Structure 1
Amino acid sequence: MNVWDQLVGQPQAVKQLRRAAASEAVPHAWLFTGPPGSGRSVAARALAAGLLCERPDPSERGCGECKSCRTAMSGTHADVTNFATENVSIKIEEARELVVKAQDRPAVGRWRILVVEDADRMPERTSNVLLKAIEEPPPHTVWLLCAPSPIDVLVTIRSRCRAVNLKVPGAEEVAELLERRDGVPSETALRAARLAQGHIGIARRLAMFPDAKQRREDVVRLPLGLDGISSAVAAAERLISTAEAEAAADAEERNEREKNDLLVTLGAPESGRVPPTVKAAIRRLEEDQKRRARRIQVDTLDRFLIDLTTFFRDVLTLQLKTGSLLINHHLERELGDYALNSSAERTLEQIDTINLTRRRISTNVNPRLAFEAMAASLIQRH
């Protein structure tokens, strides 16, 4: 399987990237945009693999078989820097490190490639740090930026990038990939792809991890159990606790290891008094770990809200009799009963409430309070 086969449902993008990989005159900055699940980072890594592919015939670059292709796709190639911030936003210090890295000459390949995921998380001041490096990069450097939409990136940066626009692939295309790549049975793959609404990463988790599927089911069924304020508060608490547990599980695995690695790197003594410089470094690490935990929690809650929206989308589909395929087809009877006891206007209000909660948790609003207010607003009126 070559690297382009992993870009599911993106024929135009594949054609564009293949042409670039076969060319000797490659644009030095690219911007990959598309909705969540469209495969922005996969497309960026595929281009990196194509540019570094060892095949002598340019038309065969991106073979997926040579060492350069395999390591570029897995994120271990010496000439590819894959950057994804674990904070709510990309810090200036992180951007400066990338600029310094961009000056390095390639170690084994033709190009030094920097893949920046979540480029939309760059505040304006941080974007300005990268601007000069993207305007006038060294001749051997290629920047690959990823963001949901062009407007999420500073206009002065996106105007200097070659655009690659991606779309969410169809459920059948995602299911075929899960079958071919991960060995998922066809029926399971198609059901997971439909529930994930074409998001490849989420579809894979739903198909291969029963606990992920159960969590989604609990979220989607939440409106069916809202019969008063007490049940709304309890439902909000369950979702918040699940998100906190996800962040805690990640922290348990990584925090202590990162601290130990830092102490070894700084040459800190195994016992006795810790030098002030080491204390300061530990403090910065702990602050970064707290920010990372917050991002994991917010991202988890946002996913819950997206899944919750599918319930009301299906209800609205039944109320308006559009004939569209239900995302949560396995809940058709419950959705039908819910739709009969509500109106399309009320359903639209509930969808707006969920979208408002998504915007709120992306700021400094207390997630628990935001979710309690949302759950109370979603209680079905009789």
Structure 2
Amino acid sequence: MSQHDVFSELVGQDEPVETLRRAAQAAARVVAGEQVAAGAMTHAWIFTGPPGSGRSEAARAFAAALECERGGTGCGECHGCHTVLGGTHADVRFVVPEGLSISVKDMRALVLRAATAPSGGRWQVVVIEDADRLTEAAGNALLKAIEEPPPRTVFLLCTPSTHPEDISVTIRSRCRLVPLRQAPAGAVAAALTGRFGVPAETAAWAASATQGDIARARLLAGDPDARARREAVMAVPKRLTGVGACFDVAASLVDAAKAEAAAAFVESDGAERAALEQALGAGGTGKGAAGAMRGAAGQIKELEKRQKSRATRAQRDALDRALVDLAGFYRDVLVTAMRAPVAVVHGDAAVQSEAAARKWTPESALRRLESVLACRDAIEKNVKPEIAVEAMMLSLWKG
């Protein structure tokens, strides 16, 4: 098999990749009209694993292998593989929630489209990223499609392993599970060096600091702004010198997440609005142009609503990345205090974590770690980020 096939981007996932390869090749035999063993291929899959494990990448690679024109090998070279990986294949749809949830309206439209015969003669594939964001009604619409699937339709759902219960047990029971793991830091570092030319020392540091998340490790290795944001987070523990400082640090952490999210969408939001206004006749001078724009106010308002929801999601994701870094620091303090035979996550902050380990009891370090994890959980449950982060900072200061 080519070293550059569709599965080559999945780092440290040998067992899941082998499972997906076998299933894709069985699917190709089904298309060819051959008999395959029961269970060799199924119509609904759930990809689960911790952040950075490559859930979406695995689902996308499997979708490409299903559309591969070379016997389902996922060669990475044929038209089917290229168009799926590029997001332009006519029979593969990617559902990427821009906001906090996936609506029943969107899901019904998707299910209806997925019921049609594949134009390419292989499979209709629906990839739902963050399937844990399905509303209850959207989940019910999806369940009906999974219970009565069209013969050539495959559903690929991605969800964090930390909250698998966010997908209904009925849907889970009808899907084949593909558990992904956190990639070893060594494998991530080797991938950064081999594929992207990152110097070995930088690659090793980035892989460790991001706890095996290859996408974030690549960003950290090459983006000075990302490194600056991480450094600000790593400075949080020593800045907590009193109640006032706790509130100041909390505000700066939340503001930084908002700024990061805003920077990510400032250009696309403006372009989306300009394109919509142009489509609706903005700038027109003909008869009825002004009236047409007044009638389009509802569509513009709907766009603004989507953009606001997307920004909220991006802010929460940015804040969560900061909290993961902070949790890593307190984890390092705990393992150092306990003399655990495991490597620290933030090697470049080892002097800090060692000093804290001498100063705090292991129980105190554990309480601090738990307060960071509790903050992440609270934000996921829609507690206002400012409130959750302020409460966390006070807990971190008190110990």
| TM-score class normalised by the smaller sequence | over 0.9
Residue 392 of structure 2 aligns with an amino acid whose one-letter code is: M
Which residue of structure 2 lines up, in the alignment, with residue 80 of structure 1? 92
Q: Distance in 2 between matches of 1:375 and 1:249?
A: 26
After TM superposition, list the pairs within 5 Å mapping 1:211-222 onto structure 2: 211-222=225-236
Contact 1:29-1:143 at 8 Å conserved across structures:
yes
1:104 Cα deviation from its structure 2 partner: 3.1
Residue 18 of structure 1 aligns with an amino acid whose one-letter code is: R
Tell me the SS of whatever aligns to 1:33.
Answer: strand
Which residue of structure 1 lines up, in the alignment, with residue 34 of structure 2? none
* Identical columns (%): 46
Which residue of structure 1 lines up, in the alignment, with residue 353 of structure 2? 335
Contact 1:81-1:114 at 8 Å conserved across structures:
yes
Q: Distance in 1 between matches of 2:154 and 2:335?
A: 45
Indicate which of 172, 175, 190 corresponds to 2:204.
190
Which residue of structure 1 lines up, in the alignment, with residue 259 of structure 2? 245
Indicate which of 50, 55, 74 corresponds to 1:35.
50
Q: Distance in 2 between matches of 1:76 and 1:174?
A: 28
The alignment's TM-score, normalised by the length of structure 1, stands at: 0.93
The alignment's TM-score, normalised by the length of structure 2, stands at: 0.90
Tell me the SS of whatever aligns to 1:144.
Answer: strand
1:251 Cα deviation from its structure 2 partner: 3.5
Q: Distance in 2 between matches of 1:92 and 1:224?
A: 46
Q: 1:179 to 1:101 in 2, by over 3 A?
A: farther
1:170 Cα deviation from its structure 2 partner: 0.4
Superposed CA deviations along residues 85-141 of structure 1, whole A, max 9, x for unmatched, are 011111112212211220233233511111100001112221001111122222221
Which residue of structure 2 lines up, in the alignment, with residue 351 of structure 1? 369
Superposed CA deviations along residues 326-358 of structure 1, whole A, max 9, x for unmatched, are 111122222211111111111111112112211
Tell me whether 1:273 sits opposite 2:275 in the alignment.
no
1:277 Cα deviation from its structure 2 partner: 4.7
Q: Distance in 2 between matches of 1:93 and 1:269?
A: 32
Which residue of structure 2 lines up, in the alignment, with residue 4 of structure 1? 7
Q: Distance in 2 between matches of 1:277 and 1:51?
A: 44
Superposed CA deviations along residues 286-316 of structure 1, whole A, max 9, x for unmatched, are 1111111111111111111111001110111
Tell me the SS of whatever aligns to 1:350.
Answer: helix
Tell me the SS of whatever aligns to 1:147.
Answer: strand
1:160 Cα deviation from its structure 2 partner: 1.4
- Deviates further, 301-310 or 95-104: 95-104
Q: Distance in 1 between matches of 2:176 and 2:95?
A: 19
Which residue of structure 2 lines up, in the alignment, with residue 260 of structure 1? 274
Contact 2:198-2:221 at 8 Å conserved across structures:
yes
Q: Distance in 1 between matches of 2:394 and 2:169?
A: 40
Residue 52 of structure 2 aligns with an amino acid whose one-letter code is: G
Which residue of structure 1 lines up, in the alignment, with residue 117 of structure 2? 105
Which residue of structure 1 lines up, in the alignment, with residue 318 of structure 2? 300
Indicate which of 21, 24, 32 corresponds to 1:21.
24
Q: Distance in 1 between matches of 2:124 and 2:283?
A: 37
Tell me whether 1:51 sits opposite 2:79 in the alignment.
no
Q: Distance in 1 between matches of 2:352 and 2:362?
A: 16
Contact 1:79-1:109 at 8 Å conserved across structures:
no
Q: Distance in 2 between matches of 1:47 and 1:139?
A: 18
Contact 1:114-1:144 at 8 Å conserved across structures:
yes
1:181 Cα deviation from its structure 2 partner: 2.2
1:247 Cα deviation from its structure 2 partner: 2.3
Contact 2:114-2:126 at 8 Å conserved across structures:
yes
Residue 37 of structure 1 aligns with an amino acid whose one-letter code is: G
Q: 1:176 to 1:109 in 2, by over 3 A?
A: farther
Q: Distance in 2 between matches of 1:264 and 1:305?
A: 41
Tell me the SS of whatever aligns to 1:252.
Answer: helix
Give the gaps of 5 or more residues in structure 2: 31-40
| Residue-pair matches, total | 378
- Deviates further, 178-187 or 11-20: 178-187
Contact 1:268-1:278 at 8 Å conserved across structures:
no
Q: Distance in 1 between matches of 2:42 and 2:274?
A: 41
Residue 14 of structure 1 aligns with an amino acid whose one-letter code is: V
Tell me the SS of whatever aligns to 2:220.
Answer: helix
Indicate which of 369, 374, 381 corresponds to 2:392.
374
Tell me the SS of whatever aligns to 2:12.
Answer: coil
Contact 1:226-1:380 at 8 Å conserved across structures:
no
Tell me whether 1:134 sits opposite 2:152 in the alignment.
no
Give the gaps of 5 or more residues in structure 1: none
Q: Distance in 1 between matches of 2:140 and 2:281?
A: 35
Q: Distance in 2 between matches of 1:184 and 1:297?
A: 28
1:27 Cα deviation from its structure 2 partner: 1.4
Contact 1:195-1:203 at 8 Å conserved across structures:
yes
Contact 1:319-1:343 at 8 Å conserved across structures:
yes
Residue 232 of structure 2 aligns with an amino acid whose one-letter code is: D
Provide the alpha-carbon RMSD of the alignment. Answer: 1.8
Q: Distance in 2 between matches of 1:253 and 1:366?
A: 27
Tell me the SS of whatever aligns to 1:8.
Answer: coil
Tell me whether 1:223 sits opposite 2:226 in the alignment.
no
1:244 Cα deviation from its structure 2 partner: 1.1
1:380 Cα deviation from its structure 2 partner: 5.8
Tell me whether 1:365 sits opposite 2:383 in the alignment.
yes
Q: Distance in 2 between matches of 1:226 and 1:219?
A: 12
Contact 1:52-1:109 at 8 Å conserved across structures:
no
1:268 Cα deviation from its structure 2 partner: 6.1
- Deviates further, 72-81 or 161-170: 72-81
Residue 16 of structure 2 aligns with an amino acid whose one-letter code is: A
